[in-house]
Amino acid sequence: MSLGRHVARRAVVSLVAIYLVVTLSFGFVALTPDPNQAAVAYETQTSGGDAEDVKAAIAAYRSAHNLDDPILQRYTRWVVDISTFDWGISYSMGAPVTSVIAQRLPYTALYVVPALFLSLVSGVAVGLYSAFNRHGLVDRVASVLAYTGFGVPNFWLAEVFLLVVVTKLGLLSHPELATAGSFWSISHLEQYVVPTLVLASGLFAGQLRYARAESLEYVNAEFVAALKAKGVSNGGVARHVLRNAAIPILSLFFADMVAVLVVDIFVIEKFFGIRGLSWLTIRAVSQRDMPLVLGVTMVIGFVGIAANFLQDVTYAALDPRIGDGER
């Protein structure tokens, strides 16, 4: 199978997965009690309404949101709305859900993307070098750094960064991102350096250990000995080893990408006051803003599906046998 056909097939599978997420989200909304109905009833009661007023208010709410329509009709409308990016209005922020997410997502991407890139490049480079120089000084130092990265929690490391880098050395400004000014100003971008380093440190440890372990499987392989016998430089040999070890290394990278969105960003954004995706999620949950909760949940699900698609395409590009079904 050609690479183009493999990509097209994986794109179709990803599209099906996206609509499966959309369907599950609809089931969550349609088949569970709506917390906003309780909020409507509570507001009506506190404003002096009696039981009939409460029933009328709930009936008006259900009519306004088409909750009394047949479930198949509601599902069809839901799929069309999601496909056309009409995700409803956020109750707590009074704006379209897509607009609210689009405003907050760049604040998360501004430290997540550099952290992922930095951890991948540095972790693989150090891990590969350590594998070729096993038991050397760099290998020992790298092992210590890796174990430290695994054992130190992000919130503690963030506190140390703030104390040493910001307070003691004065190299960077304090990341008070909740009150940041212009998005692309130097003073604003500078504040993301510390969150990026904190996030990258934990990811770096995983990439380093995995790259070293995978590279060690090939450093004594026959093709490496043949390359050295032909006079290929150390850099050339390392590139061949990296190509063979790339698939499992990328597996960890894409797994880390999803894990960061699901777990780590909540710690980072809470600690540094970044008003990004996790801040928006917590706000939506605390305000019982169901359209916004579903919108953020779907974004995270879509990112996971996109990461899996990129992983499949990268695998096929690195090893054509995967596209042919040989592996």
pLDDT digits (tens, 9 = 90+) for 142-175: 888 777 776 777 777 777 777 776 666 665 555 5
105-289 fold: MetI-like fold (1.10.3720)
- In this prediction, residue 68 carries a pLDDT of 77
Nearest Cα residue to 278 out of 86, 68, 107: 107
Q: What are the φ and ψ backbone dihedral angles of 89, each rounded to 5 degrees? A: -110, 135
* pLDDT beyond 70 at 98: yes
d(CA 266, CA 300): 13
- In this prediction, residue 143 carries a pLDDT of 80
pLDDT digits (tens, 9 = 90+) for 166-206: 666 665 555 554 444 566 777 677 778 888 888 888 788 88
pLDDT digits (tens, 9 = 90+) for 268-310: 888 888 888 888 988 888 877 878 888 888 888 888 888 888 8
d(CA 161, CA 124): 24
At position 6, the amino acid (one-letter code) is: H
Weakest mean pLDDT among 212-221, 292-301, 317-326 = 317-326
- Long-range contacts from 67-76, C-beta under 8 angstroms, 24+ separation: 67/34, 71/30, 74/26, 74/30, 75/23, 75/26, 75/30
pTM: 0.77
- In this prediction, residue 321 carries a pLDDT of 61
* Residue 123 · residue 206 · CB < 8 Å: yes
Task: Break the chain into its structural domains and give their ranges.
Answer: 105-289
